[in-house]
Chain A
């Protein structure tokens, strides 16, 4: 899907936007390869939509330049850019029927015979039957597909999607995620997708840029972002992370040995995003599903070489495929652990003493100078 031909890349260089004294987007550099599905992920107000609007030409950047392939478009009005947008809440023209909504862009460019193209496009989004209806006669999911068709029919170099699924209910959203992914694969156009839903970004995009407070925190493939977060914001915003403060004890080959409370933890140096020196602090992170839980009585059966922490179960909630535990440990009183319900140990109930253990390879290290809770609140807020 991703081609090596870079003539269709979207390149932002030093692009920034300020409103009076408020900086919406700090000057940032970003390259979106042609044909990729790119997601800008962040909480509301992080500057992701402003960035998108600067690419669309709906917002004039305060600094920097926007290139579409070899063409500089920084100051071009939207109607001169080979870019189309799927707006949040769609912005379909209420006085035109579905056919005319989809044909709008073609007609504006002086194309006379639009019938075949529009019909093909409506077929692509499975709305062939609805051509003569007005937007308000369609369901949310159908309107959303019209918005996509209306933009895609123009064969833009880049399709911009501004929270396109935000107004849909959960089930429809999952369905549309797959649908959009299918369409993108089919037409091969570059998609830049703005969303606050980390699951949406991860399931759909090839590359995700996590934005926070007007800056790109980290950019990479979804698995890369999830497994190797570089900042506490990314660690907390994408899924859940247990972060504990630890002190660098010794370095041993490619591994760093850390002290956290009374326990020793091992962290591969390659997975540490922070400078480490003996005696310095780092934040040690581990995802809840990477942790295994063993009752304290069976502690002897835990293989050697695994990181381990002892604690007491504070809470357990059964959610079907897994059980989510909250463990009170000396280093962190709300350690989250997700255990798959394969073989349930009846002794793992609140109050039980347990040992948490995981492979050092799953541990990651972050700079301790950051806010350990960055990105936590926002996730809960947005998910609500």
Chain B
């Protein structure tokens, strides 16, 4: 190649930096945010403020409620209803664990083994949503009926003796026991566990399994060391999506439980709709929200999912 005999002319001075695009364009993102923002304000922020103010009011239905900054409502509610709080957390946790144990194998199967049946199984997972939550829960009343096949089988296998012993069932029945409530919660929130699990399992590159096998990992080790850690985002979001609504649920305890299995949701519902003690109901709601927020934060910190992907 011959050398250049003449340097190229220097570049013309760069044009002054372009003015920001038309003014209107600059605000477009905010306009697009507006509907969602309005929704949040009207249906979340305002009710929250209203509820907060309710929780510190005193008075009665006849004389009207006034904001008196009566924070003792919180303390009183906590003192009176802590067993229901504990029970809610315990039932929700039990249901979440059950969902994980039932949902993980199914999500794994759909993601890696189902082949052309994948879509069909996914539809089956979602199918229960086509009927009402209430009806599905009522159906469990029939399933767990005292002389139904489920109770009969559990009885024959002496499983009820075991659950009786740990206090999950009473006598020869399942209905109106903690077991029934946890079963109902598990059933109703199972899809919320399966869907995020499936999504994160499905994203795992199949070659990683091959690579683990190639590096002397037996199938179970491959699962422990590769598949499960990589599915942690799904496990975390699945457990949150199950635990949070389950802790606040009252339908399952109402329909499948008894007075001994009342959860905090039932207490709030009764306070609000039957006793009409709005301040206590509002205070209980706030305590529940704070408790869940606290547990979720600790959980996410502990599981360290922000490090994944």
Contacts and interface: CB of A to CB of B under 8 A. Distances in A.
Contacts of B205: 91
Contacts of B210: 58, 78, 85, 87, 91
Contacts of B213: 57-58, 77-79
Contacts of A338: none
B219 to A, nearest CB: 8
B214 A84 contact: yes
Interface stretch (A102-110, A284-292, A325-333): A102-110
Contacts of A57: 213-214
Contacts of A78: 210, 213-214
- Which of A77, A91, A109 has the most CB atoms of chain B within a 10 A radius of its CB? A91
Nearest to A88: B207
Contact of B215 (A58, A84, A95): A84
A57 B210 CA distance: 10
Interface in B180-213: 205, 207-208, 210-213
B273 to A, nearest CB: 48
Contacts, number: 62
A94 B215 contact: no
B94 interface: no
Contacts of A83: 214
B59 interface: no
A78 B225 CA distance: 17
Given A93-B226, A94-B230, A94-B309, A154 B207 contact: no
B211 A91 contact: yes
Given A87-B207, A89-B207, A95 B212 contact: no
B216 to A, nearest CB: 4
A109 B208 CA distance: 18
Contacts of A91: 205, 207-208, 210-211
B229 interface: yes
Main secondary structure of the interface of B (DSSP, over half): helix
A104 B229 contact: no
B253 to A, nearest CB: 39
B216 A79 contact: yes
Nearest to B211: A91
B195 to A, nearest CB: 22
Interface string B215-228: 11110010001100
Interface in B151-165: none
A105 B216 contact: yes
B115 to A, nearest CB: 14
A58 B214 CA distance: 8
A114 to B, nearest CB: 13
A77 B210 CA distance: 11
Given A78-B210, A89-B207, A91-B207, A104 B230 contact: no
Nearest to A89: B207
B17 interface: no
- Which of B212, B229, B230 has the most CB atoms of chain A within a 10 A radius of its CB? B212
Nearest to B221: A108
Nearest to B217: A108
Interface residues of A, number: 24
B308 interface: yes
A370 B205 CA distance: 41
Interface in A93-151: 93-95, 104-105, 108-109, 150-151
- Which of B205, B214, B217, B218 has the most CB atoms of chain A within a 10 A radius of its CB? B214
Contacts of B309: 94
A83 B214 CA distance: 7
Contacts of A77: 213
- Which of B205, B210, B221 has the most CB atoms of chain A within a 10 A radius of its CB? B210
Interface in A50-94: 56-58, 77-79, 83-85, 87-89, 91-94
A104 B208 CA distance: 12
Given A108-B216, A108-B217, A154-B216, A93 B211 contact: yes
B211 A85 contact: yes
A89 B205 CA distance: 11
B207 A104 contact: no
Nearest to B232: A95
Contacts of A58: 210, 213-214
A109 B216 contact: yes
Nearest to A92: B211
Interface of B: 205, 207-208, 210-218, 221, 225-226, 229-230, 308-309
6 contacts: A78-B210, A78-B214, A92-B211, A94-B230, A105-B216, A151-B215
Top 10 A-B pairs, shortest CB-CB distance: A105-B215, A108-B216, A91-B207, A91-B211, A78-B213, A85-B214, A79-B216, A95-B229, A108-B217, A78-B214
Given A87-B211, A104-B215, A108-B216, 17 more contacts: A58-B210, A58-B213, A83-B214, A85-B210, A87-B207, A91-B205, A91-B211, A93-B211, A93-B212, A94-B208, A95-B226, A95-B229, A95-B308, A104-B217, A105-B216, A108-B217, A151-B214
